[in-house]
Chain A
Amino acid sequence: MTRGRPAEDLRDTALAEVELTHGLARTWQTPSGFWGALATVDHKIIGRRYIATAFVFLALGGVLALLMRWQLARPESRILSPDLYNQVFTIHGTNMMFLFAVPVMEAMAVYLVPLMVGTRNIAVPRLNAFSYWMYLVGGVLLWVAFVLDMGPDVGWFAYVPLAGPQYGAGKRADIWAQMITFTEISALAVAVEIVVTVLKQRAPGMSLDRIPLFVWSMLVTSFIIILAMPAVMVASTSLILDRLVGTHFFNPAEGGDVLLWQHLFWFFGHPEVYIIFLPAVGMISSILPTFTRRPIFGYLPLVLALVGTGILAFGLWVHHMFTTGLPRVGESFFTASSMAIAVPSGIQIFCWLATIWYGRPVLKTPMLFILAFLFTFVIGGLTGVMVASVPLDTQVHDTYFVVAHFHYVLVGGAVFPLLGGVYYWFPKITGRMMSERIGRWVVGLLLAGFNLTFFPMHILGLQGMTRRIYTYQADMGWGGMNLFVSLSSLVLATGFLLFFIDAFRSARHGAPAGDNPWGAATLEWATSSPPPPYNFVRIPVVESASPLWDSPDALPVATGLRMDRRELLVSTVADAVPEARESSPGNSIWPLWAAAATTILLIASIFTPWAVVWGAIPVTIALIGWFWPKGTPEDES
């Protein structure tokens, strides 16, 4: 990178600091105004949108949960009709899994991964813009359908034949299946971007053993997404075909198989749990060093635990089907593999305990969320060992015991670390701190509210209360505990409400944060808060796993990137040795048009198969427009 520089080749080496930052800002900026906002490919702007949208869906899904608790507070209550209740629990589950949990983790990664690996933008940034629009449309589709009383009512798992053409009347199950298609496209797109960003765009010197653990967890998660999502795409497409054109994939009367659906769905559905959980543990591993004032203990075992979980995730799906009457040998195998997942989870917990043990714990809100996580998640993990046992599962499967178990794992195991992550990275994203005082209340209310709401559900399940029932009879004796659960859910809801209030208030009035308010060690804290459009003035060079702690005064930087056009540094996979300068695509409105054309195709195909034929034309036009060379400097290189 030391060849002669022509006069027009404006590299950062040749320029003074002020000139450089102005030039970079001009090159990387998002034009102001409506069209500028729609055309941006800045991973930070898109990431912020993604995060905000996902939290809107969290709030909406939470309202549905409260509706269900209102209905179940008393026996034989008639607040929700059975039809409405079935829509509500289906949309609660679908919304939380497909519109909140998976997207919010990917959203955090879209924002954070490029900063944490020290690059200027995410790889394939226009695809990133496209993925956000697809996600947004998928979510709006589901909720508009619900408002129009066309909401899916077949459960988030949409078992056939209930969701099939014979028993699933109307377009409800089709809307569910097509919503899956939207969120799948967006999830797969982000997964590909993250894999490329992590493998090829790391800052010089960030070899595999110096990658921040959140980035590692997102790399593993992205591979899981790429391998697992196609199964549910096949499943939902087959379901649409059964319903729309009368194929018989799942119709036993015509040689189809009902259990095929369950295999395909859970081959995706179980890894889905780890798609949500692994980013959360990655956040813990990245946050914990900051609040114990020491590097994480057991970096290598932690990475191996992430990879091990990712591999085992594909050997567990049958434990959702233990009561379907599969052969005993198969069931024993899946019991063993399901229990084995406790080992990598155990490794991570023990490494975190060791880090806290030999650290100097600072009990700020993010750290409190980690403690709340440990308190709650360990219970969920242990009940997970119970449901992994075939004989025990035959009693607790499809009861409130399982409802309790997976909320302990998903809320305790993923939402608590996520909220800790929000408190932790909020200053980076907005430039302002969230309130420490309110944060403590949020942790306390959520921890107490969560456990009071969900712990009694274990007992309700053992007392015979099955899942997905819109009511129960008074003589079952479940009334008292259900009332207690419903009242406790108000405490939990208050905690979430307080969190939203704090986030809104702090975004405008929080104390200014500065670059590195927590004294953290990773690269995202090496730039300003919020970061400039180009992320780093000069690409940092990494010499250890805790770069900001080991080079406290100033990070060494790599130079030689141009400032008059969007350029990234591409490095080798293993050792992150710089290989080349690569152009990064600029802002474009075409991803939006492509998303609009795809939306028309997908939504129309709920109603007629011909939509796939005629709808392909606008999609093709949009893609041609997207890839047509437009004579920008990036196109020429």
Chain B
Amino acid sequence: MKPGRAARLCFLLLCLCCAGCTGWQSAMDPQGPAARRLDQLFWLFTGTAALIWLLVMLVLALALLRRRMPPEAVAEHRSTVAVGGAVAATVLIITGLTFASYLATRQDSAGHADALVIRVRGFQWWWEVTYPDAAPDHSFLTANEIHIPVGRPVRIELAAADVIHSFWVPNLAGKQDMIPGRDNALTFTVQQPGIYRGQCAEFCGLQHAHMALLVVAEPPEAFERWRAAQLAEAQAPRTPEAAEGQRLLEIKACGACHTVRGTAAAGTLGPDLTHLASRQYLAAGMLPVTRGALAAWIADPQTIKPGNNMPMVSLSADELQALSAYLVDLK
């Protein structure tokens, strides 16, 4: 074993890999001050750790290679000094890192009076998103996709409807758990428009793997346009086929769990579908919102996402066509 060379290789490998670590769900590609502070702290810790590891390996290599033996008393004395020094250095480094970590936390806990408040509730296995407003008719519900204006602090208030979930969008901030019976919150600001992915980080059952959400950061004007569109009731059907789709939604099982504002469907167990087609993904990140994907999902949700709470509703081929035609128009 050649620890020195191995160490250099590992470090190079790490650097190479991290250079390629940009992604839409990556802690290595921070897009806001909160995530950036965490990234800087990460590199401070990693650099220190790499140096310490190299040093220990170097001493170990020398210890294995050296041949000269001083008398026992001298060896004992020198060991005491060396070990004592190393322990003192450890204490200093640990203290420094603790302090650095404390400073980063303190900056994060600063309050934001003008923050945009969004409530997110975790369900098995999707996210309910509420934009509350003092005027009740200006507050609305959506799911799995959060739109935020860039440059303005956002306060996400977190709750859980069933089991523990955890809200994590690594490009924007660290994670925070959603715990039944407790209220948590997370505040961050995004500076660049973009689409960032997050996913549930606390094991929550069968479909923990498929519980993703998107954060869409857009300029304030675009955000306000989106908000106004979300406040409106659902798009009325424009074709006879879509009208049949709406009728099916209301008379079949769909309305028992889902709401489409402006129709008789007013269930609250599943995601709100009023503006389903304005969202990019279906079933918490499983499928893109296209007519084909909608039909596939409704036809057999248990094969696509085994164990999820949406039952298979028996529909004829024509009914499936009509329903998907209606849903894909819910912009």
State the A residues within 8 Å of B (CB). 81-83, 86, 155, 159, 161-162, 166-167, 252-253, 257-259, 297-298, 301, 323-325, 328, 331-332, 335-336, 339-340, 342-343, 346-347, 349-351, 353-354, 356-358, 360-361, 363, 371, 374-375, 378-379, 382-383, 385-386, 389-399, 447, 451, 455-456, 459, 462-464, 466-473, 476-477, 481
Contact = CB atoms under 8 A, between A and B. Distances in A.
A382 B174 contact: no
Given A83-B206, A398-B201, A459-B18, 6 more contacts: A162-B204, A258-B164, A342-B94, A346-B86, A358-B78, A386-B42
Contact of B38 (A86, A382, A395, A476): A395
A389 B45 CA distance: 10
B82 A462 contact: no
A325 B179 contact: yes
A301 B25 CA distance: 45
B108 to A, nearest CB: 7
A162 B164 contact: yes
Contacts of A298: 79-80, 83
Nearest to B25: A464
A298 B203 CA distance: 44
30 contacts: A83-B306, A162-B203, A297-B83, A323-B166, A323-B177, A332-B102, A342-B90, A342-B94, A346-B87, A346-B90, A350-B82, A350-B86, A351-B83, A354-B83, A357-B66, A358-B69, A375-B3, A378-B57, A385-B97, A389-B45, A389-B98, A390-B105, A391-B101, A391-B174, A392-B45, A395-B42, A464-B199, A468-B203, A469-B208, A473-B285
B163 interface: yes
A392 B23 contact: no
B52 interface: yes
B176 A323 contact: yes
A374 B98 CA distance: 24
Interface stretch (B132-140, B143-151, B180-188, B220-228): B180-188
Interface string B209-241: 100000000000000000000000000000000
Contacts of B59: 353, 357
B79 A466 contact: no
A143 to B, nearest CB: 22
B168 interface: yes
Contact of A464 (B26, B80, B83, B179): B26
A351 B87 CA distance: 10
Given A342-B90, A378-B56, A455-B10, A81 B18 contact: no
B175 interface: yes
Interface in B34-78: 35, 37-38, 41-42, 45-46, 49, 52-53, 56-57, 59-60, 62-64, 66, 69-70, 75-76, 78
Interface string B102-118: 10110011000000000
Nearest to A359: B63
Given A358-B69, A394-B174, A159 B98 contact: no
Given A82-B306, A382-B53, A399-B201, A258 B181 contact: yes
Nearest to B75: A358
Contact of A82 (B1, B197, B209): B209
A351 B28 CA distance: 37
Interface in B241-262: none
B273 interface: no
A325 B104 CA distance: 16
Query: Chain B: interface residue count, which band?
Result: 35 or more
Contacts of B306: 81-83
B41 A356 contact: no
Contacts of B197: 464
A335 B63 contact: no
B179 A259 contact: yes
B315 interface: no
B207 A82 contact: yes
B174 A259 contact: no
Contact of A466 (B69, B173, B200, B307): B200
A328 B174 contact: no
Chain A contact surface mostly: helix
Given A361-B63, A392-B101, A325 B177 contact: yes
B21 A398 contact: no
Given A335-B102, A472-B209, A473-B285, A343 B94 contact: yes
Contact of B21 (A161, A252, A459): A459
A467 B175 CA distance: 13
A418 to B, nearest CB: 20
B311 interface: no
A257 B164 CA distance: 12
B317 interface: no
B41 A391 contact: yes
Nearest to A86: B206
A521 B115 CA distance: 68
B167 to A, nearest CB: 9
A384 to B, nearest CB: 10
A326 to B, nearest CB: 10
Nearest to B206: A82
B319 interface: no
B37 to A, nearest CB: 7
Instruction: Name which of A347, A351, A382, A396 has the most chain B CB atoms within 10 A of its CB.
Output: A382
Given A349-B56, A385-B94, A462 B166 contact: no
Contacts of A375: 1, 3, 6, 57
A263 to B, nearest CB: 13
B181 A252 contact: yes
B162 interface: yes
Nearest to B39: A395
A389 B101 contact: yes
A159 B166 CA distance: 13
A107 to B, nearest CB: 30
B87 A350 contact: yes
A471 B207 CA distance: 10
A177 to B, nearest CB: 17
B56 to A, nearest CB: 5
B89 to A, nearest CB: 9
B129 to A, nearest CB: 19
B63 A356 contact: yes
Contacts of B70: 358
Given A350-B82, A385-B49, A82 B164 contact: no
Nearest to B197: A464
B38 A297 contact: no
B14 A459 contact: yes
B170 interface: yes
Contacts of A399: 201
